[in-house]
Amino acid sequence: AQKTNVQQCLLKLQTNKLYLLTTTTVLESKDSNNKYYDPLAIYAGSTETVTLPENLETIGSYAFNNNNIKSLYIPASVTSIGEDAFKESPSLETIIVDGDNKYYDSRNNSNALIETSTNKLLVGTHNTIIPNTVDIIGSYAFAYKTLLFGIEIPEGVVEIKDYAFYH
């Protein structure tokens, strides 16, 4: 049973993919337990704000690929985020991770998605401030961020993965 709470939204279901055409959307995941977001769940839509359900556990690979999301909230329940889940999200301005999430954080109001156990920055925005505690900048972390004109990389960063700043 799929539920979608949408304000000013037009939904189109096609081949098991959910395409959203909206400016503000609150989504629930595609499985009956609301615990998994399918890969390519939101693709090339005009959604600007996404609030994921509080019991969501997994965000699939490429789930938010190639979109216009500006604001993203990751709940405490998320334990796994697939590869390149937010790749090609040039409009992303705000990333907030619930403070009770044990696997991911956005420490020091950094405006970044960081994997807590590895101190790896997975996703940044054009206004991210990389915390001194980050050790690794992940692949495609800042890729396609067309408004990114410069960023300070702390001395503690020991590795920058391929394509981290690809454009």
Q: How far is CA 49 from the centre of its chain?
A: 11
Q: Which residues of 27-50 are buried (b: 16+ CB within 10 A; e: fewer)?
A: bbbbeeebbbbbbbbbbebebbbb
Amino acid 40: pLDDT: 40
Hey, what amino acid is at 60?
A: G
pLDDT tens track for 127-151: 999 999 999 999 999 998 887 888 9
Amino acid 60: pLDDT: 75
Res. 85: pLDDT tops 50: yes
What percentage of the chain carries pLDDT values higher than 70?
Answer: 71
Amino acid 145: pLDDT: 86
Amino acid 45: pLDDT: 52
Quote the CA–CA distance of 87 and 85 in Å, as a whole number.
6
